């Protein structure tokens, strides 16, 4: 079981992820420079947060044409796992591995906070170590995290139970008041139809070490490691 | 005979997509006293030069560039104007 973390110019959460997967969980982790094309040794690719290519034009727009991204698309098409966090989620929508787009937050603010997020299901590899409807607290830090998709795409996401995380109240209610950035249907994270590609705006890697506050994100990485070690 | 073209590309948000920046600018204009203003939408304007065999080829390549990079057609529309600069 080997994790790979893609490093674009401007990525800034890459080492945070490595600290969790390698440092806390002792899992083999390789940092993958965006110019590389051979990622066949990896079981799970993580596209980290940050500001790839300065977020010029649109967030994630330039990163989608990095040499490594063709390999990531191929990796996903083989049914292997891809996780995009924050800027990584934006890259995954730009490259078309996930539907929809992430646009400016409803109230324009860059939001840096810890927020309640509801885990919608736990029968996918991503959330094995959580309970369905469990409310967890994760950090968010984004200016363009408002999820947008047209009505038919949104319906397909709901029908296919592809919305894995939603912004919610501390007690787990999904309502406009606790939809921090204006995302449609309170979307905080979605998977593709096959379930092997996950994009999420909150940062589980920043909520994995007690020393820096919450540990609600650690179960995501631990669950992945346990599931894939067994597989 | 190849020609050099100048393109002016306008990328605008689809009408179904909220534009909080446009809304903020609109309220700014209203606070300045321009109460007649409505429907502010902020887009992008891109200029570029390109060489192409003819206008059709230039148009085709620009469409590709817009679809693949310059616009995200999930949330944006685009249009462009093309003018010939000189014959190479």
Catalytic annotation, pick one of A86, A142, A144, A168 = A86
Residue extents of the structural domains in chain A: 2-230
For A158, the 3-state DSSP assignment is: helix
How high is the pLDDT of residue A25?
96
In chain A, pLDDT over 70 holds for what percent of residues? 99
Average pLDDT on A84-105 reads 97
Q: List, as one string, the DSSP characters of A170-191.
A: TT----GGG-TT--GGGEEEEE
Q: What is the pLDDT of residues A104-150, one digit of tens each?
A: 999 889 999 999 999 999 999 999 999 999 999 999 999 999 999 99
Q: Determine the CATH number of domain B3-17+43-87.
A: 3.30.1280.10
Give the pLDDT score at A206: 96
* CA closest to A63 among chain B residues: B69
User: Does the annotation count A86 as an active-site position?
Assistant: yes
- Is-contact A153 A99, C-beta < 8 A? yes
Confidence of residue A213 (pLDDT cuts 50, 70, 90): confident
- Tell me the pTM: 0.93
Q: Is the model's pLDDT at B87 over the cut of 70?
A: no
Encode pLDDT of B37-46 as tens digits: 999 999 999 9
Instruction: Provide the ipTM.
Output: 0.85
All residues of chain A having their beta carbon less than 8 Å from the beta carbon of residue B19 are 104
Taking the CA atoms of residue A141, residue A144, residue A145 and residue A149 in that order, the dihedral angle to the nearest 10 degrees is -170
Chain A residues touching residue B15 (CB < 8 angstroms): none
CB within 8 Å: A146 and B18: yes
Closest C-alpha among A102, A91, A142 to residue B74:
A102
Rounded-to-integer distance, Cα A231 and Cα A225, Å:
10
What does the pLDDT read at residue A228? Answer: 85
Whether residue A75 lies in the annotated active site: no
Fold of the domain spanning A2-230: Rossmann fold (3.40.50)
Residue extents of the structural domains in chain B:
3-17+43-87
Burial class of residue A32 in the structure, from the number of CB atoms within 10 Å of its CB (0-12 exposed, 13-18 middle, 19+ buried): buried
Average pLDDT (B28-39) is: 97
Predicted pLDDT of residue A173: 97
From chain A residues 56-75, the ones with a CB under 8 A of any chain B CB are: 57-58, 61-62, 65
Taking the CA of residue A104 and the nearest CA in chain B, the distance in Å comes to: 7
Active-site residue A203, yes or no?
yes
Is the pLDDT confidence value at A231 over 70?
no
pLDDT in tens, A22-58: 999 999 999 999 999 999 999 999 999 999 999 999 9
Q: Which of A61, A93, A106 sits opposite B18 (nearest CB)?
A: A106
Residue in A63, A121, A116, A125 with CA at minimum distance from that of residue A90: A63
Which string of b and e fits B58-78 if b means at least 16 CB within 10 Å? beebbeebbeeebbbebbbeb
CB contact under 8 A, B72 and A107: no
Instruction: Determine the Cα–Cα distance for residues A106 and B17; give it in Å rounded to an integer.
Output: 11
On whether any CB of chain A is under 8 Å from the CB of B15, the answer is no
How high is the mean pLDDT of chain B? 95
Q: Say whether residue A108 is in contact with chain B using an 8 A CB cutoff.
A: yes
Q: Any chain B CB within 8 A of the CB of A105?
A: yes
Does any CB of chain A come closer than 8 Å to the CB of residue B48? no
Q: What confidence tens digit (pLDDT) does each residue in B69-79 have? A: 999 999 999 99
């Amino acid at each position: 079981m080997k994790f790979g973390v893609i490093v674009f110019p401007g990525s800034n959460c890459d080492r945070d992820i490595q600290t969790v997967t390698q440092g806390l969980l002792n899992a083999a982790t390789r940092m993958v420079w965006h110019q590389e094309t051979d990622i066949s040794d990896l079981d799970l690719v993580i596209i980290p947060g940050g500001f790839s290519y300065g977020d010029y034009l649109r967030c994630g727009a330039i990163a989608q044409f990095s040499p490594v991204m063709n390999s990531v698309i191929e990796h996903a098409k083989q049914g292997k796992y891809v996780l995009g966090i924050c800027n990584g989620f934006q890259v995954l929508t730009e490259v078309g591995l996930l539907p929809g787009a992430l646009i400016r937050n409803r109230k324009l603010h860059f939001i840096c906070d810890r927020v309640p997020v509801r885990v919608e299901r736990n029968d996918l590899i991503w959330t094995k170590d959580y309970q369905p409807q469990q409310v967890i607290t994760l950090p968010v830090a984004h200016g363009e995290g408002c999820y947008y998709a047209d009505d038919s795409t949104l319906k397909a996401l709901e029908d296919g139970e592809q919305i894995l995380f939603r912004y919610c109240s501390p007690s787990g209610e999904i309502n406009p008041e606790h939809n921090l950035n204006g995302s449609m249907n309170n979307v905080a994270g979605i998977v593709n139809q096959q379930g092997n590609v996950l994009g999420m705006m909150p940062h589980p890697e920043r909520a994995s070490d007690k020393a820096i506050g919450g540990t609600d994100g650690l179960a995501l990485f631990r669950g992945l490691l346990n599931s894939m070690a067994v597989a | 005979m190849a020609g050099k073209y100048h393109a002016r590309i306008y990328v605008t948000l689809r009408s179904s997509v909220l534009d909080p920046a446009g809304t903020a600018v609109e309220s700014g204009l209203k606070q300045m006293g321009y109460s007649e203003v409505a429907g502010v939408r902020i887009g992008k304007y891109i200029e570029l030069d390109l060489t192409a065999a003819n206008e059709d080829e230039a148009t085709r390549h620009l469409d590709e560039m817009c679809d693949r990079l310059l616009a995200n057609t999930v949330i944006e529309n685009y249009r462009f104007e093309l003018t010939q600069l000189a014959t190479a």
